[in-house]
Structure formats: C-alpha cells, structure tokens
Amino acid sequence: AQKITQTQPGMFVQEKEAVTLDCTYDTSDQSYGLFWYKQPSSGEMIFLIYQGSYDEQNATEGRYSLNFQKARKSANLVISASQLGDSARYFCAMRATGGFKTIFGAGTRLFVKA
Amino acid sequence: DAMVIQNPRYQVTQFGKPVTLSCSQTLNHNVMYWYQQKSSQAPKLLFHYYDKDFNNEADTPDNFQSRRPNTSFCFLDIRSPGLGDAAMYLCATSNWAPINPLEQYFGPGTRLTVT
C-alpha cells in the first residue's frame, strides 16, 4: 500500500528566508511520481513541482526545488526566498506510473512572517 | 486560458435534498476526478472517469454518484445529503500516460453546506 507522511502540521518562516517542508513516502511500486501542491485559504489546489522516481536530478521550478532521496524515500520541498503569498497549506502526493489514484499526505500549514 | 471550472463556488442544501455540483474543463484531459476535502484534511478521492470509464473508490458511499456526458463536463450528484457531507468538493483533471504520471489540475472547489 502507498502512504505519504508529512510530520510538520504547521511551520513558521521569516519572509525572504528559505524553508524545507518534509515528506516521506512508502510504496512497493518501482515507478512512480511525486508531486507537491499548494492550497491557499481560497481552497484551490495549485500544482508546484513534480519528480519522477527514475529522475536522477532533483526537480526545480523557480523558487521551488524538490530534494529527492530515493533510498530514504523522502521528497522534501524547499522554498527559497519566502514571500507572504507563500502562506498556505502544502500537500505532498504520489501516484504510481500507469495508475489513476493520487495519495496525499496530511499537509503542512506554512505561515510566512513579515 | 485553459482551466478547470466548478459551479457553484458555494452551495447550501437542506438535509436529504438532492444536490448536483458541476465541473467543466477546457484542457481536453481524458481523466476527471472528484475529491471530498474536509477541514484541514487531505483530499479524499471519491471516483474518477477515464474517458467514459467510471471508477468508484471502494469506500465512496452509495449516496454519491457521478456523470460524465462528454469530455468537458463532469457532475457530482449527492442523492440525500447528510450533515457529514458538508465539505469542499474538488474537481481535478489530468491526462493519463503510461510512462509518467502527469500532474492534476484542480478547479477552485465547491464548498457545500448542509442545513
């Protein structure tokens, strides 16, 4: 069975600093994808970044980077130069290649302080 | 802009009164999903359509039904809403690919209140 664990229910970060949101996963699938989504208070889920299980390089998208450590089954999200607009809930998620069901973690609520 | 649209954004219904939530997409994706999300929890998949093929999650109550009349539209019907069905309902779309799982695009959600 697949499982996503996000151990940080809430985090604070100072504006302009970097922050790491933790995500570990468990799966018996050999090929899978890992995703991070942002959910502001408005409710919409916004796709941020994707990492394939066979990708050797860590994914980056602007201020977002994914620290992928396959042997440790971790896929941490790093947000550089935090902005007030980054305040939101962040979900780590996983889906097996060829599958339809995405498994979500419980989420981390990030608060950016001015 | 290509997008996923959900109507209405807020829906109030009475206990036991059927309600329909709608979702449309301009992305031409072949998969459409419905999720239920309760406060501060992860989204819970109710079902998905892959083209016309309907796939129900094992723990989705019979009270929840879905229709996909064409590629662009998908509906969530709640036949007899209970107080426990009050939640945010998220529609999402993606394309299915055999090689790489592709990201999902979400609509803004419909917040359902049951009185």
A3-15 pLDDT, tens digit per residue, is 999 999 999 999 9
The candidate with the shortest Cα–Cα distance to B25, out of B8, B2, B49, B47, is: B2
The answer to whether residue B1 scores a pLDDT higher than 80 is: no
Q: Could you read off the pLDDT of B27-76 as tens digits, one per residue?
A: 999 999 999 999 889 999 999 999 999 999 999 999 999 999 999 999 99
- Note the residue count of chain B: 115
pLDDT greater at residue A87 or residue A98: A87
Q: CB-hemisphere CA count at 13 Å for A72?
A: 9
Q: In B8-101, where do the E strands start and end? A: 10-13, 19-25, 31-37, 44-50, 53-56, 64-67, 73-78, 87-94
The answer to whether residue B99 scores a pLDDT higher than 90 is: no
Q: Could you read off the pLDDT of A25-84 as tens digits, one per residue?
A: 999 999 999 999 999 998 899 999 999 999 989 999 999 999 999 999 999 999 999 999
Provide the token pair at A55: 């990708």
Rounded to whole angstroms, the Cα distance separating B37 from B83 reads: 14
Rounded to whole angstroms, the Cα distance separating B30 from B89 reads: 20
Q: In A, which residues are within 8 Å of B102 by CB distance?
A: 33
Q: In A, which residues are within 8 Å of B106 by CB distance?
A: 37, 44-47
Distance between A63 CA and the closest CA of chain B, angstroms: 19
Give me the pLDDT at residue B32, please.
97
